[in-house]
A and B are shown apart, each in its own frame.
Chain A
Amino acid sequence: MSGLPVIVDAASWLLILLGSFFTVVGGIGLVRMPEFYTRMHAASVTDTLGAGFLVLGLMLQAGFSLVTLKLLFLLALFFFAGPVVTHALAQAALHERIPPLLAEDRRGKAGAGGEPEGS
């Protein structure tokens, strides 16, 4: 783990610092946001950018080895499992009639903007 080129070491420092920053931001959002649905958006910052940058930084430290491959698996796990859990959580909350705090509800009129696409 020693003897890395200075550039690689600096890059991994930067990535780990960025990852730490976004992780903490997600945590702050989790506490600051006013209600459940908005809190989920904050948590997904931790799950995507925070975890992503941290793991990338660790990958640079590990060099080219099995450890890097395992970190890659971890990243893939976050990438594919994260949204599944988030979606299940949101759907369950909506099903239990937790009312979302909305500034605007476009479900009725969105047909004008959403419908013609993809046809």
Chain B
Amino acid sequence: MMFAVAAAAVLLTLGLAVTRAIRGPTVFDRVLAGNSVGTLAILLLAVVGFLTGRPEFLDIGITYGLLNLIGTLAVLKFFRHGDLAYDASEPR
């Protein structure tokens, strides 16, 4: 029961984050919303894992968290430098 409440809250917040991603207006608002969606997806995975009595979902959650971090940083780096292999210490 309490897991269902938590899942509902996380889903509601996911809806709000997606609203922000659609409304924009800048690309950074969308990246921020995308990052929040990632965090909420991890929470949802954890809660649903408990809801269905299969906490193995947590492994997927941890993996998703690591990917979310790298993904967000990659998108930002691409916007900033237009190049994923940019290295500030290299002369160009």
Contact = CB atoms under 8 A, between A and B. Distances in A.
Judge A-B direct contact (beta carbons within 8 Å).
yes
Interface of A: 1, 12-13, 16-17, 19-21, 23-24, 26-28, 30-31, 36, 39-40, 43, 46-47, 50-51, 54-55, 57-58, 61-62, 67, 70-71, 73-74, 77-78, 81-82, 84-85, 88-89, 92-93, 95-96, 98
A39 B29 contact: yes
Q: How large is the interface on B (under 10, 10 to 19, 20 to 34, 35 or more residues)?
A: 35 or more
Given A24-B13, A71-B58, A77-B66, 8 more contacts: A16-B3, A17-B5, A31-B16, A46-B39, A54-B6, A73-B62, A74-B61, A96-B28
B73 A20 contact: no
B20 A98 contact: no
Nearest to A85: B72
B6 A89 contact: no
Contact of B73 (A16, A24, A85, A95): A85
A24 B13 CA distance: 5
A13 B2 contact: yes
Interface of B is mostly: helix
Counting chain A CB atoms within 10 Å of each CB, which of B6, B69, B73 scores highest?
B6
Contact of A46 (B13, B19, B47): B13
A89 B66 contact: no
Please provide the 8 A-B residue pairs with the shortest distance between their CB atoms, ordered closest to farther.
Answer: A20-B9, A27-B16, A27-B13, A67-B55, A93-B28, A70-B58, A81-B69, A92-B76
